[in-house]
Structure 1
Amino acid sequence: MRPLPPLNALVAFEAVARTGSVGAAAEELFVTPGAISRQLKLLDEFFETNLFERRGRGLALSPSGAAYFERIHAHIEGIRKATAKLQHHENRTVVRVHSHTTFATRWLIPRLSQFQVSHPGIDVHLTTSSEWTPGADCDAAVRLGNGRWAGYEATPLVPNVLVVVCAPSLVQPSRPVDAVWLAQQTLLVVSARPDDWSIWCAQAGFDATAMVRQRIFESSAVAYEAAQDGLGIVAAQEVLIGQELASRRLIAPFDVRVDRGNETYYLVIESSRRQRRSLIALRNALSRTK
């Protein structure tokens, strides 16, 4: 009988190949990125080849890795579906939740952990991505918007307040923090949220067009890390940077907070599913937690 590769390593490989990053795979499997990297190394040693290649700061499948993923993905997905059916048969309910990556890591995952403790008969399977994918195979999703989606019930989860933040090192006691100072900073812009800066500037009374130095990031999480490293200043969602503000890894140089009102994060459930007991329990647990 031919030996199988290490199964934990196989699951880690499939998750990284499917999600496109070590970080996203770690979030999905509820382990650290370091643990994922160690599993990938084990699989490389098993096959005596590299299944991924370095591309800039990220990873991409090598030709052999791509061919292997194509062959095994359907089998692993089949195992997931068979497992979900058996768990349901054994009086366990699986709830599949999809979320934006940054919101999942900074707000949702700790609350899902609490939910699992309170509801041991419900298993939550979380998937993440930088953007919402219409038609995603899930029971509930976290979406950012105005709460109006035809055919869906939307429950607001958090206040969406914009604040401008930066590393303390960018603010000098001898220099005023004003429009001139702001115009000289590097703006960290999130491609999925391109209007945050103009919205904040309009409320604060600053000319957004005067700020020409920019760096663009795909995700808010990376932009927040860059801000902590002193690479620039970012218009952030206050609910997602509470720990950084409390520890003063980030500070708000301007006393301007812009509440986006209905434009916030919602737990979204198809209207046809909203009466499922498991989804009612999930909605009640998350909407109570501000």
Structure 2
Amino acid sequence: MLAFEFVARTGSVRAAAEQMSVTPGAISRQIRLLEEHFGTTLFQRDGRGLLLTHAGSAYFHLIGPHIEGLRKAGQVLHRSAGRTVIRLHSFTTFATRWLIPRLTAFQLANPTIDVRLTTASEWDESADFDAAIRLGDGEWQNMSATPLIENILVPVCKPTQDRKAMLTPEHLMRHTLLRVRGRPDDWQRWSEALGIDIGGLTNWRELESSALAYQAALEGQGIALAQRELVKKELAEGTLIEMANGQLNCGRLTYYLVWSSNHLKEANLLLLKEWLIRREDPAIDKR
């Protein structure tokens, strides 16, 4: 029955197999046995996918509420066993530079909540999660969204002989600018807001992620446009310097903790939210 429900929702034997962690052959056998049991065809081919037949559609609508009830009951039982799993998805750079230290402290303070973190360089609409870190304006349909940091963009680079204690707009003309593939508009947004013309610059280097751009800047390979909150440690240590009067606050365009409205794990998600939006050192529990 579960194999049928997964195939009905995804339209694919392979996708259903991946979600159930079994082989496509096992899914096909379950569907075949179900069709033999009822003496009718439940699916028909449609290109590379599967569509429900009339009989299959009627069966799916009848069992759907019961399957969902079983799923919810399992989640409740899992929580009552004393441990809740929160599947958290985040951008890689944000996770390594801001999120993970706070999660470490959160886990120590909340041992009955198991936060399982997955990351990616770019947002994936197909990602499966209980909560996620998203970059945007906070407006996602049917989602609860809480801003986590101020998204302040500022050019940063390694202090060298010709830029000992200050980075100026003139340096942009003489050095390589580091651009992030997943954030292609940042430099244009920043330059327009500050009235700095970078239209004639041709010395660009594109990198896959902000983490790689920051590392390249630390090694003196160019100037990165950083999200200031994510390089605060390097700025404080002096391994990176920032452009004076070169900050752009992106306002609502920032990182949010999001989850579906009325989520079954909302009580624990609220605990996580309150922890993450604290301003004190996350490694210190001051409760």
TM above 0.5, one fold? yes
Counterparts in 2 of 1:286 and 1:88: CA distance versus 1, 3 Å:
same
RMSD: 2.7
**Unmatched 5+ residue regions in structure 1?**
1-69, 76-83
CA distance in 2, matches of 1:227, 1:212: 18
CA distance in 2, matches of 1:123, 1:275: 12
Verify the 8 A CA contact 1:146 1:263 in the aligned structure 2.
yes
Contact 2:156 2:167 in 1 (8 A): no
Following TM superposition, by how much is the alpha carbon of 1:146 offset from its aligned partner in structure 2, in angstroms?
A: 0.4
1:118 aligns with 2:109: yes
The reply on whether 1:136 has 2:127 as its aligned counterpart is yes
Hey, what does 2:65 align to over in structure 1? Answer: none
Alignment identity in percent? Answer: 45
1:97 aligns with 2:88: yes
The alpha-carbon distance between structure 1 residues 251 and 172, as it changes in their structure 2 partners (threshold 3 A), is closer
Structure 2 distance, partners of 1:100, 1:107, is 11
TM norm structure 2: 0.68
Q: Which residue of 1 aligns with 2:241?
A: 251
Matches of 1:178 and 1:284, distance apart in 2 = 38
Matches of 1:232 and 1:239, distance apart in 2: 20
Of residues 164, 189, 201, the one that matches 1:211 is 201
Task: Pick closer, same or farther for the CA change 1:248–1:178 going to 2, 3 Å.
Answer: closer
Give unmatched runs, 5+ long, in structure 2.
Answer: 1-16, 23-74, 281-287
Q: Taking structure 1 as reference, are residues 165 and 274 closer, same or farther at Cα in structure 2, changes over 3 Å only?
A: farther
Which whole-Å deviations, capped at 9, do the CAs of 1:159-192 have from their partners, x for residues lacking one? 0000110110163469x96544321210000011
Per-residue deviation, 1:89: 5.3
How far residue 131 of structure 1 moved from its aligned partner, in angstroms, is: 1.4
Q: Give CA-to-partner distance per residue, 1:84-121, whole Å, 9 cap, x none.
A: 99964521111110000000000001111111112111
Q: Provide the secondary structure at the position in 1 that maps to 2:160.
A: helix
Inter-partner Cα distance in structure 2 for 1:177 and 1:95: 42
Give the length in aligned residue pairs: 212
Give the whole-Å Cα distance in 2 for the aligned partners of 1:173 and 1:101. 31
2:211 is matched with 221
Change (3 A) 1:178 1:288: closer
Aligned-partner residue type, residue 151 of structure 1? N
Does the 8 Å CA contact 1:183/1:211 hold for their aligned counterparts?
yes
1:275–1:74: structure 2 CA closer, same or farther, 3 Å change rule? closer
Letter in 2 for 1:230: G
Task: Label 1:86 to 1:146 Cα distance change in 2 as closer, same or farther (>3 A).
Answer: same
CA contact (8 A) 1:162 1:235 kept: yes
Listed as ranges, the matches of 1:40-119 within 5 Å are 74=21, 88=79, 90-119=81-110
Say whether 1:240 aligns with 2:230. yes
